[in-house]
């Protein structure tokens, strides 16, 4: 019996069901073990005020290390690039949509010069303010349905969501706009499965349900994030798309208020690079990203 650790939210359960279904097709028996995270307990502070590293994953990591569960299922964008000793990312399912969407208020009429948008993400806030410096971004926390309800009861023009989450819960209804100009979070739309590196009996099954192309692309994005951050959080977006031997990458580092940004967009032969994520990140750092990271950390 494989014990699948998951959070209790509707989206987390949807993701865990995908993993359970994939493993059951291999003849494995599974059961859910529900774990509450720090991010679930605190629905009021902005994510970036809580110290974003691992707030949705620490409790599941602890359950793995305590042998209370065998695998942990995550929205991979929530998983820190540095995992606890003994825990590894063992499998990634085929990726859903990586885009962000703006869900408009039900009574939205037209844009004004001083519109207000809801989002709990510093990455989304930074990119929105970069494009719309006269707008205001208000904190928005909670599960997907809670955030949609808050939007409906607000004075805001709209709120930003991950398209994959809304689609998975069949909540993506008009009016909304796909923000194809916004660089998504590294690994956005991907479901990651973590396990103990010592649980060798599980690794072959997890490898069987792993999507190699998704796994490669999110590894590039996460390495980009890891190289830029150096242990400190900042508004960073990254998207890698693999087509045959071509890797198209777009990544960005942003000041939280949107005033300064460094963006890279490049297509390479992925076979020519042993670590493309690091290569792209180092280009950003040379352009001025290193100084921006120092500035962001001083302002915290």
pLDDT in tens, 69-111: 999 999 999 999 989 999 999 999 999 999 999 999 999 988 8
- pLDDT attached to residue 57: 84
**pLDDT over 90 at 56, yes or no:** no
Average pLDDT, the chain: 91
DSSP strands (E only) in the chain: 2-6, 30-34, 71-75, 87-92, 100-104, 116-118, 136-138, 158-162, 176-178, 191-196, 236-243, 246-254, 261-269
**pLDDT over 80 at 41, yes or no:** no
Percentage of the chain beyond pLDDT 90 is 81
Stated pTM of the model: 0.92
- pLDDT attached to residue 184: 97
- pLDDT attached to residue 276: 97
Catalytic (active site) residue 78: yes
For the chain, the residue count is: 300
* Contacts for 202 with CB less than 8 Å, ≥ 6 apart: 2, 70, 71, 90, 195
Compute φ and ψ for 168, nearest 5 degrees. -65, -30
Nearest to 189 by CA among 78, 47, 81: 78
- pLDDT attached to residue 42: 41
**pLDDT over 90 at 299, yes or no:** no
Confidence band of 300 (pLDDT split at 50, 70, 90): confident
Domains and CATH numbers, the chain: 2-93+191-210 (3.40.190.10), 100-178 (3.40.190.10), 223-299 (3.30.160.40)
Q: What is the rounded average pLDDT of the residues 181-186?
A: 97
Rounded CA separation 219/240 (Å) = 9
Among candidate residues 61, 78, 100, 208, the one labeled active-site is: 78
- pLDDT attached to residue 36: 81
Beta carbons within 10 angstroms of residue 127's beta carbon? 26
Confidence band of 176 (pLDDT split at 50, 70, 90): very high
C-alpha R_g of the chain: 19
- pLDDT attached to residue 39: 45
**Inter-residue contact 93 to 209 (CB < 8 Å):** yes
- pLDDT attached to residue 220: 98
pLDDT in tens, 130-159: 999 999 999 998 889 999 999 999 999 999
**pLDDT over 90 at 50, yes or no:** no
């Amino acid at each position: 019996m494989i014990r699948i650790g998951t959070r209790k939210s509707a989206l987390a359960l949807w993701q865990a069901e995908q993993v359970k279904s994939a493993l059951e097709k291999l003849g494995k028996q599974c059961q859910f073990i529900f774990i509450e995270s720090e991010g679930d307990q605190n629905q009021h502070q902005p994510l970036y005020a809580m110290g974003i590293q691992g707030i949705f994953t620490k409790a599941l990591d602890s359950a793995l290390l305590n042998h209370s569960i065998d695998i942990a299922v995550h929205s991979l964008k929530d998983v820190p690039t540095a995992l606890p000793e003994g825990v590894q990312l063992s499998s990634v399912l085929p990726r859903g949509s990586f885009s962000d969407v703006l869900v408009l208020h039900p009574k939205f009429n037209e844009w004004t010069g001083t519109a207000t948008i809801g989002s709990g993400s510093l990455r989304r806030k930074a990119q929105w303010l970069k494009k719309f410096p006269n707008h205001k971004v208000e904190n928005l926390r909670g599960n997907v349905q809670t955030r949609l309800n808050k939007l409906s009861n607000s004075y805001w023009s709209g709120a930003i969501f991950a398209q994959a989450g809304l689609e998975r819960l069949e909540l993506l209804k008009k009016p909304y706009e796909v923000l194809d100009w916004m660089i998504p979070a590294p690994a956005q739309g991907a479901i990651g499965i973590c396990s103990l590196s010592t649980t060798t009996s599980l690794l072959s099954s997890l490898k069987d349900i792993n999507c190699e192309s998704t796994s490669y692309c999110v590894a590039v994005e996460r390495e980009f994030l890891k190289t830029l951050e150096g242990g400190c959080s900042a508004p960073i977006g990254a998207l890698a798309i693999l087509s045959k031997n071509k890797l198209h990458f777009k990544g960005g580092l942003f000041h939280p208020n949107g005033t300064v940004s460094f963006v890279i967009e490049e297509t390479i032969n992925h076979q020519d690079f042993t670590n493309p994520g690091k290569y792209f990140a180092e280009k950003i750092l040379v352009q001025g990203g290193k100084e921006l990271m120092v500035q962001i950390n001083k302002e915290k």
